[in-house]
Amino acid sequence: MNLLERIKNKKAKSVSIIGMAKNTGKTVTLNHILKLAELSKQKIALTTIGLDGEDKDKVLDNPKPNIVLLENMIIANAKQLLIESKLDFKILAVTGIDSPLGEIVIAESKESGFIKLSGPSSKYEMQIIKNKLAQYKPDLILIDGALDRRSFSSPALTDATILATGAVTAESVNSIVNKVNYQSELFKLEKSQDQRINKIISNLSSETKVLIISNDYQTKSLKLKTALSNMEEVINSIDSETKAIYFNGALVNKTISTFIEKCAFVNQVEIIVNDATHIFISPMLFNRLNAKNGKIKVKDEINLLGITINPFSPNGTYLDPLELLEKTSKAVAPIPCYEVVLNKMSSGKGVENIGFFE
């Protein structure tokens, strides 16, 4: 089952593509899905967070693959980039959302070709764009992420996610496998089983940074700019009656380390974050928290549909792609893994050719 068939099988109408790092092959993955869509005559809508599709990697100055635009595709893009592409477009709507490259407009391509994309830079703006794209009834909406902005490709905005990883994340196959396996474990984190907690969290303003929830569901919002530099105050607000604590922001090593070392109620308090893309803690600390029966829950769960691998790194590293594919798939099974350049996939039961359409 190829990626597009899997998306259809899971009834996902919108998918975000998230990279574990820059140069993990997100654009190659995107182009692969677009090619499958062209073959199956599916209508695609596309946008990106921030600026993507540069000619060169801004970090290493290496050439980057271009985004291949299909005829009759709906895109949300900065007006200047539409003009620079010299492709034929029909402007469908304006959005009123500005970017450094002009207003973002909704357009339909009248020919195929290469394109750079620039989209909104916040979740709020992306939700507006996604809603406007949906008005044109595409079979699938794709949202392409950008460097260090995984959280903007939030599961709150899409039905499912594809994760891109590869040789750029580590120098050995086993190290890469360990990293992607840990990330996939984070993506499996679930909502609280307490529906009253979930309801409280879902109704919060984005201005709430830290919220303490008691056993009788009373709440206390801490007036902090960030939890990171105020963990002592956070911990002092936790007592034997505390049921959960919500962090609206990144969960990092220092936060969890301080929580483990100084909080007397680690095993009774659920830590809740918006989603797993907000978690930036080491596997060691994650395991330490689990060992103390600590619990991390999420406001929005992630539906991880597949993982793509890139055996090449711009620094010159090239790993055995089939070994990387097979070992990764065994570690994250039953999530399927794909090497789209070689047209190979694995679901933990050996490597096989990617089928096109059954």
The domains of the chain are located at 3-187+302-353, 195-298
Question: pLDDT tens track of the chain, all 358 residues?
Answer: 899 999 999 999 999 999 998 899 999 999 999 999 999 999 999 999 877 645 555 444 555 578 999 999 999 999 999 999 999 999 999 999 998 899 999 999 999 999 999 988 888 899 999 999 999 999 999 998 754 555 555 677 899 999 999 999 998 999 999 999 999 999 999 999 999 999 999 999 888 999 999 999 999 999 877 776 788 899 999 999 999 999 998 899 999 999 999 999 999 999 999 999 889 999 999 999 999 999 999 999 999 999 999 999 988 889 999 999 999 999 999 999 999 999 999 997 889 999 876 5
State the greatest distance between any 2 C-alpha atoms of the chain, in Å, as a whole number: 64
Q: Same CATH topology for 3-187+302-353 and 195-298?
A: no
> Residue 115: beta bridge partners?
67
Contacts 24+ apart (CB under 8 A), 321-325: 322/351, 323/173, 324/166, 324/167, 324/173, 324/176, 324/177, 325/351
Position 250, amino acid: A
What is the fold of 195-298? Cytidine Deaminase; domain 2 (3.40.140)
Q: What angle do CA 331, 153, 65 make, to 5 degrees?
A: 80
Range list of H helices, the chain? 3-9, 26-39, 79-85, 123-134, 173-187, 195-202, 231-236, 253-262, 283-291, 321-332
Distance between CA atoms of residues 88 and 99, nearest Å = 21
Distance between CA atoms of residues 219 and 214, nearest Å = 6
Q: Are 324 and 173 in contact (CB under 8 A)?
A: yes
Q: 298-337: per-residue pLDDT in tens?
A: 999 999 999 999 999 988 889 999 999 999 999 999 999 9
Instruction: Tell me whether the omega of the peptide bond preceding residue 336 falls within 30 degrees of 0, making it cis.
Output: no
Per CATH, domain 3-187+302-353 is 2.40.50: no
Q: 153-200: per-residue pLDDT in tens?
A: 567 789 999 999 999 999 899 999 999 999 999 999 999 999 999 999
pTM over 0.85: yes
**Cα–Cα distances in Å, from 229 out to 225, 232, 255?**
9, 8, 9
Q: Tokens 């990144």 label which residue?
A: 250
Find the distance separating the first CA and the last CA of the chain, reported in whole Å. 8
The percent of the chain in helix, strand and coil, each rounded to the nearest 5, is 30, 30, 40
Residue burial 189-226, b: 16+ Cβ < 10 Å; e: rest: bebbeeeebbebbeeeeeebbbbbbeeeeeeeebeeee
Distance between CA atoms of residues 340 and 353, nearest Å = 10
User: With the CA atoms of 19, 15, 29 and 65 taken in that order, what torsion angle do they form, in degrees rounded to the nearest 10?
Assistant: -80
Q: What angle do CA 273, 22, 146 make, to 5 degrees?
A: 60
